[in-house]
A and B are shown apart, each in its own frame.
Chain A
Amino acid sequence: MKLKHKIYKLIDISGLQLFDPIARLLFKEEPKVQIKRITQFIIIPAVTFCLFLLMWQIMAPRHTTKSGEVPTPIRVVDAARGIWTFHKREKQKSEAFITTPEDSKKLIQSSKERFNEIETKLIPAQEELINKLKDEESIWKDKNINPKIVNFSKSESAIKEKEKLIEKELDELALSIGINEKDKKDLLLKKLKEFENNRSLWKADIAEGKGNVSILESKKYNPLEKAQRIKDRLEEEKQYLSVYIGILTKNRNSKVEDLNNKLTEYTTGYYDAESTKLMSTAKRLVRQQSRIQKTEESEYSAAKTLPYQTLRSLLCVFTGFILATIIAVPLGILCGLNKSFMCAFTPFIAIFKPVSPIVWLPIGLIVVGGFIPDPENNAFISIINSLPIFGSFEVNPAFLASAITVSLCSLWPTLVNTALGVSSIDSDHLNVARVLNLNFKERLKSVIIPSALPLIFAGLRISIGVGWMVLIAAELLASSEGIGKFVWDMFNNGSSDSFAQMFVVVFLVGGIGFMLDRIMIVLQRLVSFDESASSI
């Protein structure tokens, strides 16, 4: 009995009220009501979303652009899978670079097996299938497309012939008209007008027909397309495997081993050397030692994958968000406490709040660039990069400028809400502070901040939403390694998959934004004292 209520409360607090009816249904609490709620809050949205996907799937192929067809949901899922495979492979490569010799032997063995399988079995099989499908395609084209094209060209030539015929008729008519036959002349004019009108209509028909034909010609035989994609993917894997095996056979440990072998040779050489050769052998030995050390420290430089970029974007948005919070909350409290302060700040809030991130970013880049002229040898950057999380994401000026842009755009909601929260504190609570003779610090800590906290968090929630939205644009412009940069790269490289990958980003950005919002709602509920749910 108690467990039941704990589960309900947990659902409520974690912001997953969506699952509340399911939990209640499982405990057999008013099943009819729960089923109604499930239909309303789960089934209807799910059905609508499915309908949306279905419409997308149907509509997408009908619209072709310069950069190819609009991807269908299936292609988008495919692209997402492709992104993930790429990420996994890059990770495997960097792992391969540092595996021990025994492990790499095993890995080489298994990779070679797979490589051979692909080369000798899978690809030939797929090629055979493709050849078969090509035959099918020509049959399919003959049946479904070619007749239409032939039809069109037939009607086109028919129209052209008709045109010629009428023109000829009109010429003859003109020749037959005498100089004073006004009626006939008028008739000729009328006929000519009619003909011109018709001709423009026929022209439009032909143009439309040509458009249809080009769409028909670009139509692809789906099974063949699919088979080709599978083959492409196999080729990709084959290529990857050869690189992978290459890294495994010549990875860091094997390099170090080779160098060490040489080192022992050099060492003996040095001790056996005569005084005339002593210096040169010594140099050789010392150089070898430093080379070994460098090799031991070297790492595989993996390509930046979308998962990495996503994490870096998250880090960037949190950096900006925390910066904004650190500025906005104290400032907001001061504004809420003191009318003069509020009046002093109102013009700044009013003017800077509507400024677009597109303006802040270049300013941020210039300012950061001014402070950090040489990012490679900058103390501040190297301090940040020596921090635990930041270190693995290679913070650079572009990152800092993006973070600053995020904070400049996202601090306003928090600032305004904090000021509102502080200035609208219940006078009863302030009376308590007066009666207890609390000094400023105590009043701030025990009355003002707790009382304003729900509104502060409401502001923070808006802020992080704004920040996340702004960040993608900022990264795109600053080409700071993140989701925004990924989109920009995809836009510029224009491969057949890049359009679909941009759609993956749409859902990724949307999903993360949604999650950030949920987290903030949960936090907001935890600090708000009006609801009993906050006291679990």
Chain B
Amino acid sequence: MSFLKISNVDVSFGSDDSKVDILSNINLEVQQNEFIAIIGFSGSGKSTLISLLAGLQAPSCGYVNLENKQILKPDPSLGIMFQNYSLLPWLTVYENINLAVNKVFPNMSSKNKDSHIKKYIEMVNLTPASEKKPSELSGGMRQRASLARTLSMEPKILLLDEPLSALDALTRSSIQDEILRIWENEKRTVVMITNDVDEAVLMADRIIPLTIGPKATLGEEFKIPLSRPRNRTTLNSSNEYKKLKRNITKYMLRMNAKNSKIETSDSAIPSVFKIDSCDLEREPLIA
């Protein structure tokens, strides 16, 4: 029995004539404490997929189960970390985490709460900046704060939505190491969305490509049998690592080539437009 199970999920927006299918026939099973990377081109519906897992988006048909319970609405146990930090800019790093902790552990004593928050700030190496506001932090520091907030809720599953795509290459690699270190210390199920093959191979146990939308679906999976803990510098010279990277890149490029052929013949609506329109039609966020 799997920890997380996506079964026959379709997501589409609009109705009848204007119906746009984003995801179609998604099936995925994730074991506990597995690190999954879902890789795809921009606009292929990756964010929709992670919203589905986080309960921010309901499937049009099919279901998503976590520990045999269907995910129907967002919950702190589904720890999603957004691409653009989503820190509240009027609160300090500490207060941002405090807001989450207060909500998730309402019965914790204030002393325990404090040490709990400090533990996670320490875990992402932000202790010196804990009293700073997001506007005073660099992009990397903001993403760490966001990570600390997500971890502090002690979620059953960690959903990372392109967490590092807005960062420069150097900061990116240091935070990759950070996430790996934390994951190895306290094992947790992780589903990470990315568009970076290097990142996926370095971090994940399994890589699953998402085909190009519309009607995106999951492609053939790649197992990453590299031993852990993984080290960036030693991996760079490993042949197995290189081969995996090459295979995945080749697969992705072939998919892209095939798709561009289809796209030229299919002149109805360009795929980019469809993605935009589905973003707009996401169910209203304020009730």
Contacts and interface: CB of A to CB of B under 8 A. Distances in A.
A442 interface: yes
Contacts of A453: 90
A438 interface: yes
Interface string A322-343: 0000000000000001000000
Given A337-B286, A446-B99, A428 B90 contact: no
Interface in B195-217: none
A436 interface: yes
B89 A435 contact: no
A431 B82 contact: yes
Nearest to A430: B285
B56 to A, nearest CB: 6
Nearest to B100: A436
B243 interface: no
A120 interface: no
Contacts of B84: 428
B286 A532 contact: no
B142 to A, nearest CB: 12
B285 A529 contact: no
Contacts of B132: 535
Interface string A408-448: 00000000000000000101111110111110001000110
Contacts of B78: 435
Nearest to B92: A535
Contacts of A450: 88, 90-91
A530 interface: yes
Contacts of B153: 436
B25 to A, nearest CB: 27
A518 B285 CA distance: 37
Interface residues of A, number: 25
Given A429-B88, A450-B88, A451-B90, A435 B285 contact: no
B211 to A, nearest CB: 26
Interface string B247-287: 00000000000000000000000000000000000000110
B16 to A, nearest CB: 24
Contacts of A451: 88, 90
A437 B73 CA distance: 9
Residue among A431, A435, A438 with the highest chain B CB neighbour number at 10 A: A435
Contact of B103 (A429, A436, A529): A436
B76 interface: yes
Contact of B86 (A425, A432, A442): A432
Contact of B80 (A430, A435, A447): A435
Contact of A529 (B56, B80, B82, B135): B135
B74 A437 contact: yes
Contacts of B85: 428
B136 interface: yes
Contacts of A531: 135
B184 interface: no
A425 B90 CA distance: 13
A535 B129 CA distance: 13
Contacts, number: 62
B54 A529 contact: no
A139 to B, nearest CB: 75
Contacts of A437: 73-76, 103
Nearest to B88: A429
B133 interface: yes
B135 A530 contact: yes
Nearest to B90: A529
A447 B103 CA distance: 13
Contact of B88 (A432, A530, A535): A432
A430 B56 CA distance: 11
A430 B88 CA distance: 10
B90 A532 contact: no
Nearest to A336: B286
A436 B285 contact: no
Residue among B73, B78, B90, B104 with the highest chain A CB neighbour number at 10 A: B90
Residue among B76, B84, B136, B285 with the highest chain A CB neighbour number at 10 A: B285
B156 to A, nearest CB: 14
Interface string A274-311: 00000000000000000000000000000000000000
A431 B103 contact: no
Nearest to B75: A437
A453 B91 CA distance: 13
Nearest to B134: A529
A443 to B, nearest CB: 9
Interface in B68-119: 73-76, 78, 80, 82, 84-86, 88-91, 99-100, 103-104
A431 B55 CA distance: 11
A9 B80 CA distance: 37
Interface in B22-65: 54, 56
B106 to A, nearest CB: 11
B135 A436 contact: no
A429 B86 contact: yes
B285 A447 contact: no
B75 A446 contact: no
Interface of B: 54, 56, 73-76, 78, 80, 82, 84-86, 88-91, 99-100, 103-104, 132-133, 135-136, 153, 285-286
26 contacts: A428-B86, A429-B86, A429-B88, A430-B286, A431-B82, A431-B86, A431-B285, A432-B88, A435-B56, A435-B74, A435-B76, A435-B78, A436-B99, A436-B100, A436-B104, A442-B103, A450-B90, A450-B91, A451-B88, A451-B90, A453-B90, A529-B90, A529-B135, A532-B136, A535-B133, A535-B136
